[in-house]
Amino acid sequence: MNRDTAPSPLAGEGWGDAARDDSRAAPAKSQPGNVTAPPHPTAARPPSPARGEGKGAGLVPARVHLFDTTLRDGAQTTGVDFSLDDKRAVAGMLDRLGIDYVEGGYPGANPLDTAFFAQKPTNAAKFAAFGMTKRAGRSASNDPGIAALLEAKADVIVFVAKASDYQVRVALEISLEDNLAGIRESVEAAKAAGREVMLDCEHFFDGYKANPDYALACARAAFDAGARWVVLCDTNGGTLPQEVAAIVAEVAKTVPGDNLGIHAHDDCGCAVANSLAAVEAGVRQIQGTLNGLGERCGNANLVTLIGALKLKDRYRERFSIGVGEAQLSELTHVSRALDEMLNRAPNRHAPFVGASAFATKAGIHASAVMKDPRTYEHVAPEATGNLRKVLISDQGGKSNLVAELERIGVTLGRDDPRLTRVLDEVKEKEAQGYAFEGADASFFLLAKRIMGEVPTYFEIERFAVNVERRHNALGELVTFSEAIVKVKVGDEVLISAAEGASGPVNALDVALRKDLGRYQSLIEGLRLVDYKVRIFQGGTDAVTRVLIESADETGERWTTVGVSANIIDASFQALVDSITYKLVRAGATA
Amino acid at 315: Y
Q: How far is the CB of 167 from Zn ion (least distance, A)?
A: 14
Q: What is the smallest separation between the CB atom of 299 and Zn ion, expressed in angstroms?
A: 6
The size of the interface with Zn ion (CB under 5 A), counted in residues, is 1
- The interface mask with Zn ion, positions 14-53, x = CB under 5 A, is ----------------------------------------
Q: Which is nearer to Zn ion, 75 or 97 (CB)?
A: 75
User: Can you tell me the distance from the alpha carbon of 245 to that of 264, in angstroms, rounded to the nearest whole number?
Assistant: 13
Q: How far is the CB of 435 from Zn ion (least distance, A)?
A: 30
Identity of the residue, 103 or 577, whose beta carbon is nearer to Zn ion in the bound complex: 103
Output the smallest distance, CB 69 to Zn ion, in A: 7
The 532-561 contact track toward Zn ion, x by CB under 5 A, reads ------------------------------
Q: Cβ 587 to Zn ion, closest distance in Å?
A: 49
Q: For residue 295, which of 66, 68, 67, 70 has the smallest C-alpha distance? A: 70
Query: From the CB of 75, what's the least distance to Zn ion, in Å?
Result: 11
CA separation for the pair 364, 343 (Å, rounded): 36
Nearest to 341 by CA among 69, 96, 91: 91
* CB-based contact 548:557 (threshold 8 Å): no
Decide whether 293 or 511 has the Cβ nearer to Zn ion. 293
Calpha distance 512→506 (Å, rounded): 10
Q: Which stretch binds Zn ion (CB under 5 A): 69-77, 333-341, 382-390, 502-510?
A: 69-77
Element (H, E) at 65: strand 65-68
In angstroms, give the least distance from the CB of 207 to Zn ion: 15
- Check: CB of residue 64 under 8 Å from CB of residue 57: no
Q: Which residues contact 473 (CB under 8 A, 6 or more apart)?
A: none
Minimum CB separation of residue 281 from Zn ion in Å reads 20
Nearest residue (CB) to Zn ion, 73 versus 440: 73
68 binds Zn ion (CB under 5 A): no
Minimum CB distance to Zn ion smaller for 73 or for 340 = 73
Max Cα–Cα distance, the chain, nearest Å? 87
Neighbour-count burial for 194-210, b at 16+ CB within 10 Å, e otherwise: ebbbbbbbbbbbbbbee
452 class by beta-carbon count within 10 Å (0-12 exposed, 13-18 middle, 19+ buried): exposed
Cβ neighbours, 10 Å, residue 75: 22
Question: In the window 188-207, what residues touch Zn ion (CB under 5 A)?
Answer: none
Nearer to Zn ion, 200 or 509 (CB): 200
Q: What is the rounded distance in angstroms from the CA atom of residue 563 to the CA atom of residue 580?
A: 17
If the CB atoms of residues 121 and 298 are measured against Zn ion, the closer one turns out to be 298
Backbone dihedral angles phi then psi of residue 99, each to the nearest 5 degrees: -70, 140
User: How many residues are present in the chain?
Assistant: 590
Q: Closest residue to Zn ion, Cβ-based?
A: 73
Which of these segments, 71-79, 103-111, 326-334, 382-390, binds Zn ion (CB under 5 A)? Answer: 71-79
Stretch of residues binding Zn ion (CB under 5 A), selected from 70-78, 85-93, 385-393, 535-543: 70-78
Decide if residue 73 touches Zn ion (CB under 5 A): yes
Burial of residue 243 (number of CB atoms within 10 Å: 0-12, 13-18, 19+): middle
Q: Which stretch binds Zn ion (CB under 5 A): 8-16, 72-80, 209-217, 329-337?
A: 72-80
Examine residue 482 and tell whether it contacts Zn ion (CB under 5 A): no
Contact window for Zn ion (CB under 5 A) among 73-81, 131-139, 158-166, 174-182: 73-81
Would you tell me which residues interact with Zn ion (CB under 5 A)?
73
